[in-house]
Structure 1
Amino acid sequence: MSAQSLERRTRNYLSNNVPQIQEHGGHFEIEDVNDETGEVTIAIGGACSGCGIAPMTMKAIKQRIADEFDDVSEVTVRQAGGPRAAVMPSKTDEMDQMEEYEDYSPPF
């Protein structure tokens, strides 16, 4: 399959299965797709930049993309940069240790 095909499939998957990102004022961008290695890089931004559960959303996207496509070997999800991006330290490691997030799964 071509990188364009993997990019298109990834974009379609996110649009169809993670509509909450856009519904809540966020956005995603497929930054890079390497068809040969199966590596995909996705950035989330907009309202996601200041959202307290963005780290868990990023973790869920990473896992679900990897599970959805056999030809994906690695998924990187990061917060989009740029002049409008809010600085939000990653809380994923802390949240992973918190009991209330043990079985957390975003509603998408």
Structure 2
Amino acid sequence: MSAEGLERQTRNYLSNNIPQIQEHGGHFEIEDVNDNTGDVTVAIGGACSGCGIAPMTIKAIEQRLPTEIEGVSNVTVRRAGGPRAAVMPSKIEVMEDMEEYEDYDPPF
């Protein structure tokens, strides 16, 4: 499959299966797609830059894209930076220790 095809499928998957990114004021951008290796790089930004549970969203994207899109073997997701990015500390370590998040599986 071409890089354009993988990029289109990745964009469609994120738009259709992880609408919380956009619903909560965030956005995503496909930064790089290598059709030879299956490597995909995605940046999330907007409200995601300041969200304490963005690491859980990142983890979900990195785990699910390779299983959902044929030709994708490795996904790297990063928070988009920039002068207007309000970055908050990650809450994932605290959440992982909380009993109510023991079996947490994001609904996306």
What is the identity percentage for the equivalent residue pairs of Structure 1 and Structure 2? 79
Amino acid at match of 1:42: V
Equivalent-residue separation in structure 2 for 1:24 and 1:49 (angstroms): 11
Moved over 6 A (4+): none
Alignment correspondent of 1:28 = 28
User: Residues 53 and 90 of structure 2 are in contact (CA less than 8 Å); yes or no, is this contact kept in structure 1?
Assistant: no
Q: CA RMSD in A?
A: 1.6
Deviation, 1:12, is: 0.4
Equivalent-residue separation in structure 1 for 2:94 and 2:66 (angstroms): 23
Residues 58-97 of structure 1: pairs in structure 2 closer than 5 A: 58-92=58-92, 95-96=95-96
Q: TM-score, normalized by length of structure 2?
A: 0.88
Assess, with a 3 A threshold, how the Cα gap between structure 1 residues 93 and 71 changes in structure 2: closer, same or farther. Answer: farther
User: Residues 57 and 106 of structure 2 are in contact (CA less than 8 Å); yes or no, is this contact kept in structure 1?
Assistant: yes
Equivalent-residue separation in structure 2 for 1:38 and 1:96 (angstroms): 30
Alignment correspondent of 1:54 = 54
Deviation, 1:51, is: 1.0
Alignment correspondent of 2:5 = 5
Unaligned runs of 5+ in 1: none
Equivalent-residue separation in structure 2 for 1:102 and 1:17 (angstroms): 23
Assess, with a 3 A threshold, how the Cα gap between structure 1 residues 100 and 23 changes in structure 2: closer, same or farther. Answer: same
Unaligned runs of 5+ in 2: none
User: Matched residue of 1:70: which SS?
Assistant: coil
Equivalent-residue separation in structure 2 for 1:37 and 1:97 (angstroms): 36
Equivalent-residue separation in structure 2 for 1:57 and 1:70 (angstroms): 21
Q: TM-score, normalized by length of structure 1?
A: 0.88
